[in-house]
Structure formats: C-alpha cells, structure tokens
C-alpha cells in the first residue's frame, strides 16, 4: 500500500526538545572525537593519545522553566525568601559642631562636584536597617551563647577525687607519719575512755529492706529515676568549644556613626608675658614638637601679650585687629602621648640692626630707656611690616603635667659660680611627686610580686638577679600621666634664650630640646634674656565656650561676640591615623626652609621671602586667603618670613597657613618673591627685589 508520506520524511526522527539538545551534544562529541583522531594520526612522533574530556551539556530552557514553576508552588517559600519589609532606610541626624553652616566662596556653588562634597559634610546620615535582624544567625549566636552561660551557672557543681588539690597530699602523708605512735607510749586510761564512748553512742539506723530480693527490672527502674533527678535534657547544647576565637558564624557589628577624632585635649592659657625692658611690641608663637620622632606635631599658635601702647606703634601697618587674632588660649590635641613632647615658644620683634638682644641682657641701671624707646619707635614706623627672630624657650610637657610649678633657670644660666649639681630642669623638681599620678606602661607585676614577699637572703638575691635580667625591658618603659584627668598646673618660665640667626633650622632646634631634657652644661653657653612667661595647663572641658576651629569657624556653644576666643590647633600625628573627616577642612601649610644668595653680587644680606596665593583669573591678583598671626586681620593677601640680620644663607622656621578655595583652577599659583630689606631709616626704598 502506497504511503502518503514522502520518502525523506521517513528518515526524520521525532524527538522532544530535550532529545534534540541531547542529540546535538552527541553529534558535537562525535565530531570532536573525529577531529582528535585525525590530529593524532597526523602526528607520527607522538606515541601518547590525546585525552578527551566530557562535553558539558547545554542548558535546557524548557527544563529550567519547569523547575521554576515547581519552586513557586513549594510550601517552604516563606522560609527561604527574605521578607519584603525586612529592609528599610532611615535618616540619622548629624551632630554639627560649628554654630553656622559653612558657606562656600562666591562662584563655587556652580561646581557640581564641590556642591556634592559640601553636602557630604552637611547632610544627615542615611542608615540601612534590617527589621528582622534579631532573627539572624549572628544575633541568635550571641543570644544562644548568653543562654548557655546562664544554664552553666545554674548547673550543680560536681566534685570528684581527681579534682582535689594535689598539694595537700604531702601534708596528709606527714601527718600520718607523725600519728604513728607506739602502743607502749599510750596510757591504758585512754583506751578505757574510748570503750565507754562506744557503749554510750547511739546505733545507726537499720536498713530493713537491704536483704530483700527485688526483681532486676524494678532495680533498673529505680536507678533510672534516680539518675533523671537534676538532669539537663539538652546536654550537648550547653557544650562550648575550648577555642572561642574560632567563630563559626561571622558577627557583623553595627558601626557607630562617624565622629571627629580629638585624642587628648589640653587647654593652654597664656596668662602673662613680660620682659624686663618693655619698649616695643613682642610677638609670640607656640607649637608642640616630638623630640623622639624629630617631628612637629602641631601647627603654630600666635598670641600677643604686648601692652596697648606698644601695639599702637604699628598702627601704620595694622589696619584693624580682628577678634580671632586676639586669642590667648589654645587647645592642643595629642593622639600619641610621649615623654619627649615639648612646648616650644618663640619670640619675635620688629626688624632692627645690630645685636637687638644685648640691650635686654644688660642691667637696668646701665640702660638709657628713653634712647632705646625712641630707637624702637623709629624702627616700628619704618620697618613695622618685618620681623626678626628674638628669643626661644622650651618646656617638657609631661614634666609640666606631672606637677611642676616653676621653671627657674637663673641659678644655672645667670651665674657661673653656681654648682654643677643644681639644675633648673623639671626632672629634678619632680623627684618627690606622688607616684599615684602616674600610669605605668609595661609589665612590672612579676617584679612587684617577687619583692613583696622577701623572706630570707637567698630569695632576695634571686629576686635581684631576676630584676637584673629584666633590666633591658625596663629601659624601654616610661611613666605616663593621664592627660585627661590631671590637675590644673600653672608654670612660670623665668628666662628665655637668645635666638641665634645661624641656628634656625630643625637640627639646631632638636639639639636644643635634647639639651633642655638632659639639663646639660651646654645650656650655660646660651645667652639668657630675663623675662617671665606664665602658662596655665588643664584638661580641656567638654563644652568649652568661645571656641574657634582651625578654620576660624565658631563652635557651639558660642554665646556672643564679647568673649575672647579659644583656638583649636591642628594636630600633625607622629604616626598614621585612619579616621574619617566629619568637618570640611581645606588647608595648605607652607614651610620655607632655606635660601642661598652667597654667590649673588650686591647687597643681599637681610633676606625676606614674600608669599602670595594668586587667583585663577587673568589679572592674577593675590587672594586674601593667608591666615593672620596675632593682633591683625584674620586674612591677608601676603606674608613675609622673619628676617635673619646680615645672613646671605638664612634658614627659616616660619609657618604659612593658607585657606585653599573650594574650587582650584589652573591659574592658581603660589608666588615666592625674595627681597633685600634695607635697614636705613630714611625715606629711601626699604626693599630691593632679588628674585
């Protein structure tokens, strides 16, 4: 019978979709085997066969869809999926320290990146919360561990013979030896008394059912009931592994909101600064230095304690005195306390010719004050814009905190007849301080325990030998006071040292600090300048009024404009400090080091460096972004470094602090101009450009 189906259709195999894919994989495998055999036959030098790997079956789309449908019909879906309302996002109010929002300079608001950056410091925090976090494995593990600890405390304690202290066994052995007495040494009356005691004693209670015969099953039931008394049903659930450090479940702690890092905050108040000769204004600066790390750890704090009459001598150069520059107290932050931290105070005066410190070191009777005052007034009128190094002094911070009240160097520096044993350093003045004010850093418990129970000479010698062995450890230890709870200390510095113009670099400064720490005889070679500086040190209160940030922003609480402000000083930590920035800060510090004009012809001896920050416009106008020092405007467009008198290769110690614009442009530049300052007090030009 003829078939209605065509001949070529009879050879087609009817396969399901899964079979088609399987057939495709089979053909692919066979073709791969054929190619591999052909390549093997072509390589005659190779005797080994090429390994054939199994071909991965391609995914079946229909099968995946069917599995998905079966998953949707599963009754355990609520236990597998996360709840829809588990995650919710909330806002956490940011605690602002500044009293007013920080405003950008004109023109910076148009930059999207700058605006977004500022919003990062102003906007509230966005917090990602989970409503059902209490049911997570990390939280349940904490709860379970606490429950297990409570159950373990409620369990009855079992005492076994093996838990007995082994040290008491020799004692019992000795008692048994001493209790072995010969029968002949005991009188017969003692035996008679013991017999009477036995007869008068009460008999023990009888056990009536002791010899009764009970079935073995009943005995087992009774024993099983007795074992079940006070038994914990879940014995293995109260077991905890010995190694608690290896946590099976990762515990993700909820982080705390970012906060500004402060460290140890010390409030320093400048109470008085006087010299024996007060005829001109004197400018002071203060900073912290770490002798061990040989590093500056804070920015400069400038303060002016001159009288109003002396300040009026510079009225031609100081248009106004802003309130922020009249500060006489500052707050230092110390993250890594050390016994080698020093408070360095430098004094400057108006640029003059000759040895300006010689007048201050003479006796008052031999000084013509009127002549000196007239000369100082003349220099202030002509050269009031330039300053020169004058004097320096340093105090070891930890010794001051420990309780020293006076720093008097007159006995060691003023006369050569003083004995070598007397020293004005703070170290010897602190020899009788109460040791309870110190907090020991290191391990000394073993030494304390060994010396507390000294019995005979042999044990004392052994303790001494142990202490000698540990001497290498004690050399690295140091006693550190608690910088957060020490009592208020007022220190008086009775003299300064003349600042030599050829010793202004950092190496000379650290050498000077090392001499101050050791109270070495090299300090006697320095020229003292009589004067008095009184400082008050105390832990900074938490809510101190009238505080200004390093950027001169008002910090809450700031009641009014009548109070003298307290300045916060930027810390430069000795080591890395990884903390987030929570307040906007965009500062630039410039430290000129050295300039050499020895090979330049002409007069280039009184060298001053003028620093300016130029704007990005076409005119290149200096911007008023340089912070002022003391008794002057808050910001200025330029600043001069201190001038070393008659020095062609001067070193500098100046710090120039610049408030950078929020949006820097390609045209912004820092301009350094070098001048020779003429000290002639006539009407001729005062400065000559060198470069």
DSSP string, 253-283: PPPPPP-----EEEEEEEEEEEES--SS-EE
User: Higher pLDDT residue, 231 or 12?
Assistant: 231
Q: Say which residue the tokens 């605690």 belong to.
A: 95
d(CA 185, CA 33) in angstroms, rounded, equals 108
Residue 462: per-residue pLDDT:
40
Tokens of 515: 């001499």
- DSSP, res 435: G
Residue 6: per-residue pLDDT:
57
- Give the mean pLDDT of 311-332: 93
Residue 653: per-residue pLDDT:
95
d(CA 132, CA 467) in angstroms, rounded, equals 58
pLDDT category at 163 given cuts 50, 70, 90 is low
Q: Identify each DSSP E strand in 56-112 by its residue range.
A: 87-92
Question: Per residue in 253-272, pLDDT tens?
Answer: 778 888 889 899 999 999 99
Tokens of 600: 């330049």
* Three-class secondary structure of residue 361 per DSSP: helix
- Please provide the size of the chain in residues: 691
d(CA 488, CA 541) in angstroms, rounded, equals 12
pLDDT category at 238 given cuts 50, 70, 90 is low
- Please, are residues 673 and 595 in contact by the beta-carbon 8 Å criterion? no
pLDDT at 36 over 90: no
d(CA 104, CA 114) in angstroms, rounded, equals 9
- Please, are residues 528 and 361 in contact by the beta-carbon 8 Å criterion? yes
Tokens of 358: 């010689």
pLDDT at 432 over 80: no
* Three-class secondary structure of residue 560 per DSSP: coil
pLDDT at 490 over 70: yes
- Please, are residues 523 and 412 in contact by the beta-carbon 8 Å criterion? yes
- Please, are residues 385 and 632 in contact by the beta-carbon 8 Å criterion? no
Range ranked top by mean pLDDT from 192-201, 454-463, 467-476, 651-660: 651-660
- Give the mean pLDDT of 340-356: 92
Residue 458: per-residue pLDDT:
38
d(CA 402, CA 479) in angstroms, rounded, equals 10
State residue 332 phi and psi, 5-degree precision: -95, 140
Residue 524: per-residue pLDDT:
84
- Give the mean pLDDT of 509-517: 93
User: Domains of the chain (ranges plus CATH)?
Assistant: 264-441+474-581 (no CATH), 607-689 (2.60.40.150)
- Give the mean pLDDT of 314-339: 93
Q: How many helices (H) and strands (E) does the chain have?
A: 18, 25
Residue 190: per-residue pLDDT:
57
d(CA 5, CA 193) in angstroms, rounded, equals 129
Q: Say which residue the tokens 């031999």 belong to.
A: 366
Residue 572: per-residue pLDDT:
95
Lowest mean pLDDT, pick from 383-387, 400-404, 655-659: 400-404
Range ranked top by mean pLDDT from 403-412, 427-436, 490-499, 613-622: 490-499
- Of the candidates 668, 683, 662, 522, the one whose C-alpha atom is nearest the C-alpha of residue 102 is 662
> What is the maximal distance between C-alpha atoms in the chain?
150
Question: Per residue in 281-292, pLDDT tens?
Answer: 999 999 999 999
pLDDT category at 425 given cuts 50, 70, 90 is very low
Whole-number average pLDDT of the chain:
76
Tokens of 587: 């500062």
- Of the candidates 393, 394, 399, 392, the one whose C-alpha atom is nearest the C-alpha of residue 489 is 399
d(CA 406, CA 409) in angstroms, rounded, equals 10
d(CA 94, CA 125) in angstroms, rounded, equals 6
Residue 439: per-residue pLDDT:
36
DSSP 170-189: HHHHHHHHHH---GGGS-HH
State residue 220 phi and psi, 5-degree precision: -65, -40
- Give the mean pLDDT of 72-89: 76
DSSP 180-231: ---GGGS-HHHHHHHHHHHHHSPPPPP-TTTT----HHHHHHHHHHHHHTT-
d(CA 194, CA 190) in angstroms, rounded, equals 6
Lowest mean pLDDT, pick from 117-126, 241-250, 456-465: 456-465
CB atoms near residue 322 (< 10 Å)? 13
With 0-12 / 13-18 / 19 or more C-beta atoms within 10 angstroms meaning exposed / middle / buried, residue 630 is buried
Alpha-carbon torsion, ordered 295, 300, 303, 304, to 10 deg: 90
* Three-class secondary structure of residue 330 per DSSP: strand
Range ranked top by mean pLDDT from 69-78, 92-101, 523-532, 636-645: 636-645
**Beta bridge pairs of residue 330:** 268, 567
Range ranked top by mean pLDDT from 102-106, 324-328, 361-365: 324-328
Beta strands 329-334 and 566-568, pairing class: parallel
Lowest mean pLDDT, pick from 210-224, 448-462, 487-501, 546-560: 448-462
Residue 207: per-residue pLDDT:
82
- Give the mean pLDDT of 658-673: 91
Percent over 70 (pLDDT), the chain:
70
- Give the mean pLDDT of 287-316: 94
- Give the mean pLDDT of 29-49: 45
User: Higher pLDDT residue, 98 or 153?
Assistant: 98
Which helix (H) or strand (E) is 658 found in, with range?
strand 656-659
- Of the candidates 256, 261, 258, the one whose C-alpha atom is nearest the C-alpha of residue 335 is 261
Q: At what angle do helices 445-452 and 457-469 cross, to 10 degrees?
A: 170
User: Higher pLDDT residue, 24 or 311?
Assistant: 311
- Please, are residues 644 and 595 in contact by the beta-carbon 8 Å criterion? no
d(CA 166, CA 78) in angstroms, rounded, equals 59
pLDDT at 21 over 60: no
- Give the mean pLDDT of 399-417: 53
CB atoms near residue 232 (< 10 Å)? 12
Q: How many CA atoms lie less than 13 Å away from 292 in the CB half-sphere?
A: 10
């Amino acid at each position: 019978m003829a078939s209605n189906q065509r001949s070529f259709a009879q050879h087609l195999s009817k396969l399901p979709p899964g079979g088609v894919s399987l057939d495709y994989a089979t053909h692919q495998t066979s073709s791969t085997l054929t190619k591999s055999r052909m390549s093997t036959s072509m390589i005659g030098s190779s005797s080994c066969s090429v390994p054939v790997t199994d071909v991965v079956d391609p995914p079946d789309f229909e099968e995946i869809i069917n599995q998905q449908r079966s998953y949707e019909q599963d009754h355990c879906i609520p236990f597998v999926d996360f709840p829809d309302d588990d995650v919710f996002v909330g806002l956490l109010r940011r605690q602002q320290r500044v009293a007013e929002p920080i405003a950008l300079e004109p023109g910076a608001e148009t930059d999207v990146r700058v605006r977004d950056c500022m919003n990062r410091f102003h906007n509230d925090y966005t917090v990602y919360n989970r409503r059902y976090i209490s049911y997570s494995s990390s939280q349940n593990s904490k709860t379970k561990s606490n429950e297990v600890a409570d159950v373990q405390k409620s369990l009855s304690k079992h005492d076994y013979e093996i838990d007995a202290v082994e040290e008491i066994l020799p004692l019992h052995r000795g008692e048994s030896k001493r209790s072995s007495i010969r029968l002949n040494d005991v009188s017969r009356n003692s035996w008679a008394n013991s017999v009477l005691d036995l007869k008068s004693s009460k008999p023990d209670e009888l056990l009536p059912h002791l010899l009764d015969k009970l079935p073995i099953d009943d005995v087992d039931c009774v024993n099983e009931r007795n074992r079940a008394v006070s038994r914990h049903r879940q014995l293995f659930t109260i077991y905890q592994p010995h190694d608690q450090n290896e946590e099976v479940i990762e515990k993700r702690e909820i982080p705390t909101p970012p906060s500004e890092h402060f460290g140890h905050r010390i409030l320093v108040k400048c109470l008085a600064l006087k010299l024996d000769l007060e005829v001109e204004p004197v400018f002071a600066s203060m900073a912290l230095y770490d002798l061990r790390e040989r590093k500056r750890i804070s920015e400069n704090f400038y303060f002016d304690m001159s009288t109003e009459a002396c300040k009026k001598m510079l009225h031609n150069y100081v248009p106004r005195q802003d309130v922020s520059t009249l500060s006489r107290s500052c707050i230092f932050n110390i993250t890594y306390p050390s016994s080698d931290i020093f408070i360095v105070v430098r004094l400057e005066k108006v640029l003059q010719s000759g040895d300006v410190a010689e007048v201050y070191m003479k006796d008052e009777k031999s000084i013509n004050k009127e002549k000196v005052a007239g000369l100082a007034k003349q220099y202030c009128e002509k050269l009031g814009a330039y300053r020169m190094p004058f004097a320096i002094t340093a105090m070891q911070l930890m010794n001051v905190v420990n309780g020293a009240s006076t720093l008097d160097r007159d006995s060691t520096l003023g006369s050569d007849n003083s004995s070598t044993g007397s020293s004005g350093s703070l170290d010897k003045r602190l020899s009788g301080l109460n040791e309870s004010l110190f907090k020991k850093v290191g391990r000394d418990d073993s030494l304390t325990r060994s010396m507390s129970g000294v019995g005979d000479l042999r044990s004392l010698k052994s303790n001494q030998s142990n202490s000698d062995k540990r001497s290498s450890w004690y050399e690295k230890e140091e006693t550190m006071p608690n910088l957060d709870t020490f009592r208020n200390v007022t220190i008086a510095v009775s003299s300064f040292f003349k600042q030599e113009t050829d010793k202004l670099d950092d190496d000379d400064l650290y050498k000077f600090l090392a001499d101050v720490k050791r109270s070495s005889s090299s300090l006697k070679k320095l020229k003292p300048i009589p004067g008095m500086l009184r400082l008050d040190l105390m832990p900074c209160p938490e809510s101190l009024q009238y505080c200004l940030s390093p950027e001169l922003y008002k910090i809450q609480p700031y009641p009014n404009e009548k109070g003298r402000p307290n300045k916060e000083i930027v810390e430069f930590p000795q080591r890395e400090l990884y903390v987030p920035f929570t307040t906007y800060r965009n500062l630039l510090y410039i430290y000129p080091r050295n300039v050499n004009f020895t090979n330049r012809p002409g007069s280039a001896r009184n060298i001053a460096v003028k620093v300016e920050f130029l704007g990005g416009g076409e005119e290149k106008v200096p911007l008023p972004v340089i912070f002022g020092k003391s008794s002057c405007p808050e910001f200025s467009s330029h600043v001069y470094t201190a001038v070393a008198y008659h020095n062609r290769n001067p070193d500098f110690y100046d710090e120039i602090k610049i408030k950078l614009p929020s949006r820097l442009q390609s045209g912004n530049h820092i301009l350094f101009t070098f001048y020779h300052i003429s000290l002639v007090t006539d009407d001729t030009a005062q400065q000559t450009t060198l470069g």
